[in-house]
C-alpha cells in the first residue's frame, strides 16, 4: 500500500497554521484590550489616536508608556506646565484635536484657566519657549546654541537644564504627533462641541464622545451623532427613536442625573466656566509669527545652512546618552519607540522603511553619508513622497483628507504604519537638532 503522506499531513499542517495564526490574533487583541483598559483607568477614556494605533499594539504600548511618562510621571516640570507646553506645540500646526485635549488635561491637573486666554496670559517663563517652539516645528535646522543660552540665562525667568530638556521632549513629541493626527485625518473629523445647557458632570471629559465612550451625556455626542439625532427628531418617527434610546440608556441616564444633582454647587459653576473656555479655545491664541512655516532646506544654500551629518551627531552615540542623563529614563523610552516602529511586522520591506525614514530626515536637513539616496527615488513613488513630505513638514496644510493613490490599495494598518514612521522620524530629527544645540552650549 502506498501512502501519500503529503495529502495526509497537509490538512493537519493547515489546521496547525490556522490555530497558530488565531492564537497570534487573539494575543494581539488581548494586548490591545489591556492597553485600552489601562488608558480608561488612568485617563477615563481612550483617545482617538490610541484607537488609530491599535492595529500595531507593540508600538502602541511603547508610545503610551512614553507619553504617560513625559506628561504624568516624575519630572522637573509641574503638570500644568507640561500640558500648556503641549498646547503651544500643537497650536503651531493648528491642531484642534490636541489643543482641545491638552486644554482639558491642563484644567484637570489644576492649571489656571486664565492661561487659556492666550500665550500673553501665560507666565513669562512659558512665553520664553515660544521661539524654540516655532523653530523646532517649522525649521528645526535653525535651532542654535544661542536659543539655549537665552532660556538658561534669563534672570528670574531662567530655565534649568533639566526643565528645558523635558520641555523640548514634549515639544518634539507633540509636533510629531500633529503629523500623525493630520496624516490619519483625525483632526478633520474633530469639531469642538457646543456647551451643554444642562452642564456636564465634573468627571466627564468632553473628548470621551469623540472617543466612542458611550457613557457620556446624550447632548454631548460626536458631531455625526448630533446631526443624525437632529435629523431623526425632525422626522415623523422622532418619538419612537427617542423612546428606544431612552430605554437603552436608562441606567446610564439615571447615573448622570445623580451626578448632575450632586454638582449643583458653586464649584460646578466654576468648572462650567472653565469647560466653556475649553470649547472655544482657538489655537491661534497660542502662537506668534504665524507666517513662519517650513521652507525647502535644499533651496536655502544662500543662507549657508550646514547639512546635519549623522556621523557627527547621532541619536545612538550622542543624543541618547545626553537626554537620558538630563531627564532620567526618557532616553530608553524614546529609543524603544524608534526601535519598535522600525521592527513592526509590515508588508513594507526594510529597504522601503529605511528610505521613508531617511527621506524625512533629508527634507529636514539631516543626511547619512553611508546611504545611497538614489534608493529614495527608486523605492518611493512620487505621490508617496509628496504625501510623506506634506505630513512631516506642514501637516496643518493638509486640512482635507490626504490619501494619495499609492496609499489607497494598502490596508488601514499599513497606512497607519507609514504615518508612524513619519511621526517617529520627525520626532528624532527635532530631538537631534535640540540636543545638539544643548551639547554645544554645555561645551562652550
pLDDT in tens, 389-422: 999 999 987 654 444 545 655 677 788 999 999 9
Query: Distance of CA 436 to CAs 5, 138, 148, 313, 386, Å?
Result: 63, 17, 10, 7, 29
Is 95 catalytic? The answer is yes
Of 186-190, 298-302, 436-440, minimum mean pLDDT range: 298-302
> How much of the chain exceeds pLDDT 90, in percent?
52
Q: Helix, strand or coil for residue 367?
A: strand
pLDDT exceeds 50 at position 103: yes
pLDDT band with cut points at 50, 70 and 90 for residue 299 = low
pLDDT band with cut points at 50, 70 and 90 for residue 256 = low
Q: Count of alpha carbons within 13 Å of 345, Cβ hemisphere only?
A: 6
Span 79-100, average pLDDT: 96
Of 52-61, 111-120, 129-138, minimum mean pLDDT range: 52-61
Compare 29 and 54 and report the one with higher pLDDT.
54
Span 51-70, average pLDDT: 92
Span 293-317, average pLDDT: 80
Alpha-helical runs (H) found in 93-209: 96-108, 124-127, 130-138, 145-152, 161-183
* Torsion angle (degrees, nearest 10) of CA 314, 316, 322, 325: 180
What are the φ/ψ torsions at residue 118 (nearest 5 degrees)?
A: 150, 170
Residue-level pLDDT at 120: 95
Q: Which entry of 16, 95, 205, 241 is annotated as an active-site residue?
A: 95
C-alpha cell at 169: 521632549
pLDDT band with cut points at 50, 70 and 90 for residue 88 = very high
Neighbouring C-beta atoms of residue 275, cutoff 10 Å: 21
Q: What is the mean pLDDT of the chain?
A: 76
> How much of the chain exceeds pLDDT 70, in percent?
64
Helix axes of 161-183 and 412-443: crossing angle, nearest 10 degrees: 160
Write down the number of H helices and E strands in the chain.
19, 2
The rounded distance, in Å, linking the Cα atoms of 208 and 256 is 14
Residue-level pLDDT at 185: 82
Residue-level pLDDT at 282: 86
Residue-level pLDDT at 160: 95
Q: Helix, strand or coil for residue 73?
A: coil
pLDDT exceeds 70 at position 341: yes
C-alpha cell at 140: 528645526
The rounded distance, in Å, linking the Cα atoms of 228 and 239 is 14
pLDDT band with cut points at 50, 70 and 90 for residue 210 = very low
The rounded distance, in Å, linking the Cα atoms of 421 and 342 is 7
Q: Helix, strand or coil for residue 366?
A: strand
Neighbouring C-beta atoms of residue 309, cutoff 10 Å: 13
C-alpha cell at 93: 500646526
pLDDT exceeds 90 at position 217: no
pTM of the model: 0.73
pLDDT exceeds 80 at position 276: no
The rounded distance, in Å, linking the Cα atoms of 363 and 378 is 17
Span 41-58, average pLDDT: 74
On the 0-12 / 13-18 / 19+ scale of CB atoms within 10 A, 146 is exposed
CB 221 within 8 A of CB 209: yes
Q: Helix, strand or coil for residue 280?
A: coil
Which residues have C-beta within 8 Å of that of residue 274, sequence separation ≥ 6? Answer: 107, 113
Residue-level pLDDT at 325: 95
Handedness of CA 156, 161, 166, 167 (dihedral sign): positive
Residue-level pLDDT at 252: 60
Per-residue pLDDT reduced to its tens digit, 138-185: 999 999 999 999 999 878 889 999 999 999 999 999 999 999 999 988
pLDDT exceeds 60 at position 250: no
pLDDT band with cut points at 50, 70 and 90 for residue 243 = very low
pLDDT exceeds 90 at position 80: yes
The rounded distance, in Å, linking the Cα atoms of 405 and 331 is 37
Span 37-54, average pLDDT: 66
Alpha-helical runs (H) found in 44-108: 48-53, 57-72, 79-92, 96-108
pLDDT exceeds 90 at position 211: no
Exposure string of 277-304, with b = 16+ CB inside 10 Å and e = fewer, is bbeebebebbbeeeebebeebeeeeeee
Exposure string of 403-415, with b = 16+ CB inside 10 Å and e = fewer, is eeebbeebeebeb
**Residue among 65, 64, 81, 78 at smallest CA distance from 122:** 81
Span 87-94, average pLDDT: 97
Grid coordinates 493630520 are at which residue?
Answer: 182
The highest-confidence range among 200-209, 281-290, 373-382, 425-434, by mean pLDDT, is 425-434
Amino acid at each position: 500500500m502506498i501512502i501519500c503522506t503529503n495529502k495526509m499531513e497537509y490538512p493537519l499542517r493547515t489546521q496547525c497554521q490556522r490555530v497558530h495564526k488565531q492564537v497570534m490574533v487573539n494575543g494581539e487583541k488581548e494586548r490591545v484590550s489591556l492597553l485600552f483598559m489601562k488608558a480608561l483607568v488612568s485617563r477615563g477614556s481612550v483617545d482617538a489616536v490610541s484607537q488609530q494605533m491599535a492595529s500595531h499594539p507593540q508600538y502602541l504600548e511603547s508610545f503610551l508608556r512614553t507619553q504617560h511618562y513625559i506628561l504624568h510621571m516624575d519630572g522637573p516640570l509641574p503638570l500644568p506646565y507640561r500640558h500648556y507646553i503641549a498646547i503651544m506645540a500643537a497650536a503651531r500646526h493648528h491642531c484642534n484635536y490636541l489643543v482641545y485635549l491638552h486644554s482639558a488635561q491642563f484644567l484637570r491637573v489644576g492649571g489656571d484657566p486664565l492661561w487659556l486666554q492666550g500665550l500673553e496670559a501665560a507666565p513669562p517663563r512659558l512665553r520664553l519657549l515660544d521661539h524654540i517652539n516655532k523653530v523646532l516645528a517649522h525649521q528645526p535646522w535653525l535651532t542654535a546654541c544661542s536659543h539655549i543660552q537665552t532660556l538658561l540665562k534669563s534672570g528670574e525667568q531662567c530655565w534649568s537644564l533639566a526643565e528645558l530638556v523635558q520641555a523640548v521632549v514634549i515639544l518634539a513629541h507633540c509636533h510629531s504627533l500633529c503629523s500623525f493626527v493630520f496624516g490619519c485625518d483625525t483632526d478633520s473629523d474633530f469639531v469642538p462641541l457646543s456647551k451643554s445647557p444642562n452642564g456636564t458632570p465634573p468627571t466627564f471629559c468632553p473628548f470621551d464622545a469623540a472617543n466612542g465612550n458611550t457613557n457620556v451625556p446624550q447632548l454631548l455626542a460626536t458631531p455625526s451623532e448630533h446631526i443624525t439625532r437632529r435629523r431623526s427628531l425632525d422626522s415623523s418617527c422622532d418619538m419612537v427613536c427617542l423612546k428606544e434610546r431612552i430605554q437603552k440608556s436608562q441606567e446610564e441616564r439615571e447615573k448622570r442625573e445623580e451626578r448632575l444633582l450632586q454638582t449643583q454647587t458653586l464649584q460646578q459653576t466654576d468648572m462650567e466656566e472653565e469647560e466653556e473656555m475649553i470649547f472655544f479655545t482657538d489655537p491661534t491664541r497660542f502662537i506668534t509669527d504665524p507666517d513662519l512655516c517650513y521652507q525647502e532646506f535644499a533651496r536655502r544654500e544662500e543662507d549657508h545652512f550646514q547639512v546635519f551629518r549623522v556621523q557627527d551627531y547621532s541619536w545612538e552615540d550622542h543624543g541618547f546618552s545626553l537626554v537620558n542623563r538630563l531627564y532620567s529614563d526618557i532616553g530608553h523610552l524614546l529609543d524603544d519607540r524608534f526601535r519598535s516602529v522600525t521592527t513592526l511586522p509590515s508588508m513594507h520591506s526594510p529597504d522601503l522603511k529605511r528610505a521613508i525614514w531617511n527621506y524625512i530626515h533629508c527634507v529636514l536637513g539631516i543626511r547619512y553619508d553611508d546611504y545611497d539616496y538614489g534608493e529614495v527615488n527608486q523605492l518611493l513613488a512620487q505621490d508617496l513622497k509628496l504625501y510623506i513630505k506634506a505630513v512631516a513638514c506642514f501637516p496643518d496644510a493638509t486640512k482635507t483628507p490626504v490619501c494619495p493613490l499609492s496609499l489607497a490599495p494598502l490596508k488601514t494598518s499599513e497606512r497607519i504604519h507609514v504615518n508612524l514612521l513619519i511621526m517617529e522620524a520627525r520626532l528624532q530629527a527635532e530631538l537631534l537638532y535640540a540636543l545638539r544645540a544643548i551639547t554645544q552650549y554645555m561645551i562652550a
